[in-house]
Amino acid sequence: MSRRAQRRWVRHQARQQAWQQGWQNWQREWQPSAGQAQAAGFRAPGPSPAVVPPPVQPAPAPSYPRMHRRNGGAVIGGVCGGIADHLGVDATKVRIAFTLLALLGAGVVMYALLWFMCRPGTDTEHPDPAERRQGLALAVLGVVGAATLASVASNTSAGFVVPVLVIGIGAALVWREADSASRTPSSTPGGSRFVTWLRVLGGATLVVVGLAVVFLGRVDVAALPTALAAVVLTLVGVALLTVPIWVRMWRDLGAERAARVRTIEREEIASHLHDSVLQTLALIQKQSADGAAVKRLARSQERELREWLFGGSEAPAQSLAAALKAAAADVEDAHSVAVDVITVGDVEGAELGVDDRFTALLGAAKEAMVNAAKHSGCESIDTYAEVDETSVSVFVRDRGVGFDPDGVPSDRQGLAKSIRSRMERRGGSVVVRTAPGRGTEVRLSMARLHEGDETVAPETAEESA
């Protein structure tokens, strides 16, 4: 410990002792004695706790805002505008300062480094034409002046300075267009995108031409083939040496892509299960006392999950099979029974839309499923549909109590009107096979519409009911 630190420590100890002595003296003067306290009816106070000064919080480190280049308001790279916004000064003054620094030989390099290192901001306001012309004029003055002064100061011929200037202009043009493309990648119209590519191609051409002029001016043309061959052989050797690295990188990229795809699929499955299965399980838990409701929810979730796993999400108005499944789902939800639908072939598109016979077929099939759900007494119904080139057949079968067709009361017209009459009016046929205790099978058949056949008049609201 240095002498200065020792002296500070001694002074601190002396102040601490003086403070403690003063505190003890104050306690002796102002606190009554034990006898006086008891006579006055007071209890002698206990020892006072030591007073601990609050800890001193260190001052927070000052935070400085990060400088960003101008994004929408950039004239070339947005560096001067970003510095002006960061310092709160006029952008013209910053541009003049960079022009003077360019004449001294450092402005161009500083601008390029700041362009490369600073991130673009979030501004979207474009500069006005006067500001743009002023900025471009100062940039041309600085670059041309810097090239002239460098040529004069270094006694370099214009054959070297001019190509270097061309290379710089081409690189700046490519950088600027790359910045513009990264700013608005999705909102660029076709014409502007074409102009952007033209500018990029022009900048690349300037860079290549400048490099070629510098290279050809410095290299013996006669030795050019040998140099090119050496470069090619070197590149081939480097490629051969780095083959394992490239192969491993390619495999890592493939593995990363596959892992990303698996992650996305896993997230989609988790989201769907959360929105469907978990919600249904929560509803089943709330309605566990109602067996019919539990069966209905479980069957509905099973149907939805099968459609999601194995497809079959066509709109009912565009597919006969989808319409049958939708009708079966309605019967399941209304009567708490399971309806299994199997289809072989399908009727889709325009034929289903213009031919009203299929509307009658679907209505009769749904009515047959409703009758089976209401009167069969069983918990499952089988519906089978077969479509060939000439006809469509639908079978609705249950293994319930069955019935005697001759013993149906006259006021029960569901089978006679809603099924049989509906089919026969449109050229279809109905066959009912049933017996008491042996279940019921309803077969619905309807011929398909061929070229030259006329469509049947649409069903009325009374018939549909």
Same-domain check for residues 286 and 330: no
Band (pLDDT 50/70/90 cuts) for residue 290 is confident
User: Does 176 lie in the same domain as 82?
Assistant: no
Q: How confident is the model at residue 182 (pLDDT cuts 50, 70, 90)?
A: low
Q: Is residue 57 part of a domain?
A: no
CATH number for position 355:
3.30.565.10
Mark which of 312, 337, 356 sits at the end of a domain: 312
pLDDT at 384 > cutoff 90: yes
Please check whether residues 85 and 104 belong to one and the same domain.
Answer: yes
Does residue 55 belong to any structural domain of this protein?
no
Average of pLDDT values for 55-77? Answer: 73
Whether residue 169 lies inside any domain: the answer is: yes
3-class DSSP string for the chain: CCHHHHHHHHHHHHHHHHHHHHHHHHHHHHCCCHHHHHHCCCCCCCCCCCCCCCCCCCCCCCCCCCCCECCCCCCCCCHHHHHHHHHCCCHHHHHHHHHHHHHHCCHHHHHHHHHHHCCECCCCCCCCHHHHHHHHHHHHHHHHHHHHHHHHHHCCCHHHHHHHHHHHHHHHHHHHHHHHHHHCCCCCCHHHHHHHHHHHHHHHHHHHHHHHHHHHHHCCHHHHHHHHHHHHHHHHHHHHHCHHHHHHHHHHHHHHHHHHHHHHHHHHHHHHHHHHHHHHHHHHHHCCCCHHHHHHHHHHHHHHHHHHHHCCCCCHHHEHHHHHHHHHHHHHHHHCCEEEEEEECCCECHHHHHCCHHHHHHHHHHHHHHHHHHHCCCCEEEEEEEECCCEEEEEEEECCCCCCHHHCCCCCCHHHHHHHHHHHCCCCEEEEEECCCCCEEEEEEEECCCCCCCCCCCCCHHHHC
Q: Are residues 123 and 164 in the same domain?
A: no
Are residues 209 and 302 part of one domain? yes
Q: What is the pLDDT of residues 102-142, one digit of tens each?
A: 888 788 888 888 888 888 888 778 888 888 888 888 888 88
Inform me whether the pLDDT recorded for 93 exceeds 80.
yes
Pair 424, 326 in one domain: yes
Considering the domain architecture, whether residues 112 and 168 belong to the same structural domain is answered as no
| Pair (213, 339) in one structural domain | no
Q: Which of 243, 277, 312 is the last residue of a domain?
A: 312
Residue 10 covered by a domain: no
* Same domain (yes/no): 241, 262: yes
Kindly state whether residue 44 falls inside one of the protein's structural domains: no
Does residue 225 sit within a domain?
A: yes
**What pLDDT score does 464 carry?**
43
Which range among 6-10, 92-96, 177-181, 188-192 has the greatest average pLDDT?
92-96
Q: Is the model's pLDDT at 42 over the cut of 60? A: no
> How many domains are there within the chain?
3
Do residues 218 and 260 share a domain? yes
Q: Are residues 207 and 294 in the same domain?
A: yes
262/293 same-domain check: yes
398 falls in which pLDDT band (50, 70, 90)? very high
Given 312, 328, 363, the domain boundary residue is: 312
pLDDT, one tens digit per residue, over 256-274 is 889 988 888 888 888 777 7
Range of the domain at 88: 66-154
